[in-house]
Structure 1
Amino acid sequence: MLSSAQAFRVLWLYRYVRLIVNCVSHWTFKPIPLPEKPTLTSKDVTIIIPTIDGEGPDFQQTLCTCLSAAPSEIILVTIDANLERLKSTAALIHSSCIRVVSVAHANKRRQMCRVLPEVLTKITLFADDDVIWPPRILDWILAAFEKPDIGGVGTSQRLRRADCPNIWGFLGALYLERRNFEISATTHIDGRVSCLSGRTVTYCTHILQDLEFTYGFTHESWLGRYQLNTDDDNFITRWMVSHGWKTYIQYCREAELQTTLEDNPRFLKQCLRWSRSNWRSNLTSMLRERYIWKGFKAIANMDPGEKDSSRATLSPPAIIGDGLLVFLLIKTTQNWGALSVLLLWMLISKFVKLLGHFVRYPEDVVLLPVSILFGYFHGFIKVYAFFTLNITAWGTREGADVDDGYRMIPIDKRKQASFSDWRQKLSW
């Protein structure tokens, strides 16, 4: 039986050693540089943008920023009901390299699979319909593909700052800041990342066009009872790991996109959706696939310092961990100076990952207590998400949940096709 002092040391090491390692790794990270003689150019890239709305100034700005990267083709995939509206929007851009197609129901996996067989370039890039790119983002992304063992490349992300930012925008900005910190650190340590975010992500086309991938992507199951048609970026990231492909994050200003998040109470629904997705993916990774145990990412999945990413899967909510540390220290010693040092350390640990944001926007420092309190509150979101993993609704975007029933479909095992049966059916 551990004494209070021993328990305190174990808990402190568990919670903070990885943070120290990640700080060093993040601060010493360097992106793969641009090659002198690149073998890939922007004309080797096809951009696929799954969308529902298909209109509005933000979407037009996304199209323009994608066009400025000079890809081979941009394919917009919407639903049948919005096809003509999207064609009208695309016509306003006056570009011959934009193509518009549709599927019957709103489902990102199905929208992606609709056009993957038609991609003719070496690299496929998926992008959300609300991103803004820096001018040379493709050059920096393609630089990573000069290494033949890399199958997927992601980017760093920032929130597009509003003219009058509010608390919700502040929390969203910190979410992306924290994510940048974590993925740059784990990439530097062992080349792995918990999830290549679909906001902007690139893959070798031949990996995605392999029939084995297509079958796995369209027949993923959850609990053996449901066909899962959500969490697409988590699935592809796990596929890269399980099939021996390396992934990389080009963490640098030249490859840093801007995006939007909810700037109202619906941000909580986004956090809930992300948490459910992380639970499902990480439980699959750790208990069924188990490939992650070979690398540092296994430790990442158990990191207690993350309130909004997959890496908190096996850890109690932060309010419990922090409270237990304080309790054990008080029980071990009545030295209030030691308690003050611990509380100061806890404050630093909650600030250090966000340092980049506060350097850019020092006026936001006054909101740091809001971030800390939200971190504790997020523990309850995480627990609620665990008990509602069969819910896949977005709840934050008009029209996004019309076809929610297609995201998790009950499996009739008598009718479920094996890979060989499915491939034979394709040949017909």
Structure 2
Amino acid sequence: MAGTKTTILQAWLPRIGITLALGSALASTWLLLSDCNVWLAVFCTFFGLRYTRFIGHLIGAWSYRPSLVQPDPSFTRHDVTVIVPTVDPAGPVFPECIRSILANGVAQIIVVTAGADLKTKCRQALEALAPEAGETSLVVSAIAKPSKRRQIRHAMSHVSTPITILADEGAFWPSVNFIPSVLAPFENQKVGVVASKKRARRTTPGRWSWLSIVNFIATNYLERHNWELKASNAIDGGVFVVSGRTAVYRTEFLANQALLDHFCNEKFFFGRFGGEDGLGPDDDNFLTRAAIKNGWLIRFQDTEEATVEVTLGEWPRFHSQLLRWARTTFRSNPVMLRNPDFFRRYTWSMFMVYWAGITNFALLWDSALILSLVQALKATPGVPGAWLSLALFLLWIIATKTVKIIPNLYRHPADVALLGFQIAFAYVHSFYKLWALVTFWDCSWSGRKLDGLGGDESQDVEALEVVV
């Protein structure tokens, strides 16, 4: 039954969404031609364009159903290799990350770092965790210079399992049924990538301090992403990105040598930017685009078992991350939009995810809506309760910015007191996006310190060392 509902939505919702948007424009034109309130026509146009996406995503989120774990699955935890690229093996989160992966009993963990010194630190950290390894093989290797993309490519040549998971060092897996849940979508032979659900650790719920507020905003940032992924994936199978914090791939897709070479030498804006060694960040966006381009289906697995916990919201690192993510939008989304096959297969996602990601400046849209409504009310004096509609519309704006983060507020009720900061952030983020737009060429990995890492390129660090 759930499958039928999803199929019907995929068939008509992208078209009905466009019809609603065009309908609002036609209705506004009729009001204008019939000499009605011009400002009301403007408001209706803006309202239709602004909230068609929201209403469509509400329907998509309601219709979403995760893939069910089968009693006799095609893949098990013994078919999984996990690649962990790291530049901070001595940091506090690395052991916790590896320990959480070990608890899931995968076949192999390959840790790839940069330089001989970091390789030694990785080996020491893994040796300390060896008693917890069980049947999992722990392997460490390194390349000469830090590059997440090249670290992944180096590790892929040593993967022999049919499933490969890429995991960041700051991602912590649940220890109960994570692997079965994220492998469930692969029962469909056309699925090549599975996106896990992300949740930021909430450190100080309800506390009125700068660090607590930033952490609150960060947790909501991921909660909104989960909501968007769930909605678009239910409607037409599209996603804006499969986050590299923990992403699950068929090795058949990821081990393609031509793909990996392009992955490590990507440039953008007609090949003008990206540096001598290729683009550093945006690695997960590249792989998402490549999967879609090569005809693989992508599934978002929204279950508690598939929920990965991450650390997020540390200031000023979060400030740098916001800029990097916003720049990624302006670098990556146009590449997807110029793919004609993507328009045919993912109509809703093309307009309501990728195009909306470029044009969605909340401060400009909401200002235009409020201004046009105020002018429309001024043009209709004497109408009983006219100004009540303005108050109701402001409540509508608040509601639309709250519905996506309800799960987080449910887990941490004390955070309701901080809701105003979340609404304010929605408008502050417009300035981040504007600055990212005019500095999109900046492809530094902001939020991560890479200077001085690595070693002499002549050093032999690429050989794999089996710790356990």
- TM-score normalised by structure 2 residue count: 0.81
**Equivalent residue number for residue 120 of structure 2:** 84
1:69/1:211 Cα in 2 relative to 1: closer, same or farther (>3 Å)? same
In structure 1, which of residues 392, 396, 400 is the aligned counterpart of residue 450 of structure 2? 400
**Equivalent residue number for residue 349 of structure 2:** 297
2:216 is the alignment partner of 1:170: yes
Q: State the 1:265 CA deviation.
A: 3.0
Residue pair 2:280, 2:445 contacting (<8 A) in 1 also? no
Residue pair 1:154, 1:196 contacting (<8 A) in 2 also? yes
Q: State the 1:82 CA deviation.
A: 0.9
In structure 2, which of residues 310, 313, 323 is the aligned counterpart of residue 262 of structure 1? 313
Alignment of 1:342-421 (within 5 A): 342-397=393-448, 399-402=449-452
One-letter amino acid matched to 2:450: A
Q: State the 1:262 CA deviation.
A: 3.3
Alignment of 1:12-411 (within 5 A): 12-80=47-115, 81-94=117-130, 95=133, 97-134=137-174, 135-162=176-203, 166-223=212-269, 224-226=271-273, 227-287=278-338, 289-294=339-344, 295=346, 296-301=348-353, 311-315=356-360, 317-334=361-378, 335-397=386-448, 399-402=449-452
Larger radius of gyration: 2
CA distance in 2, matches of 1:12, 1:234: 30
One-letter amino acid matched to 1:239: A
CA distance in 1, matches of 2:321, 2:314: 11
Identical-pair percentage: 32
Aligned length, in residue pairs: 394
CA distance in 2, matches of 1:27, 1:203: 26
One-letter amino acid matched to 1:300: M
Residue pair 2:86, 2:111 contacting (<8 A) in 1 also? yes
Q: State the 1:218 CA deviation.
A: 2.3
1:269/1:203 Cα in 2 relative to 1: closer, same or farther (>3 Å)? same
- Which structure has more relative contact order (CA 8 Å, sep 6+)? It is 2
**Equivalent residue number for residue 45 of structure 2:** 10
One-letter amino acid matched to 1:314: T
One-letter amino acid matched to 1:238: R
Q: Note the alpha carbon deviations across 1:17-52, whole angstroms, 9 max, x for none.
A: 221121222133221001121111111110000000
Q: Structure 1 unaligned runs (5+)?
A: 304-310, 405-428
Q: Note the alpha carbon deviations across 1:275-314, whole angstroms, 9 max, x for none.
A: 1112111021123x344322121122367xxxxxxx4212
Q: State the 1:219 CA deviation.
A: 2.8
SS in 1 for 2:242: coil
Residue pair 1:150, 1:247 contacting (<8 A) in 2 also? yes
Q: Structure 2 unaligned runs (5+)?
A: 1-28, 33-37, 379-385, 455-468
Runs of 4+ aligned structure 1 residues displaced above 4 Å come to: 401-404
CA distance in 2, matches of 1:184, 1:277: 21
1:400/1:272 Cα in 2 relative to 1: closer, same or farther (>3 Å)? same
CA distance in 2, matches of 1:26, 1:321: 23
Q: Note the alpha carbon deviations across 1:235-268, whole angstroms, 9 max, x for none.
A: 0000111111000010011111100113223311
One-letter amino acid matched to 1:400: L
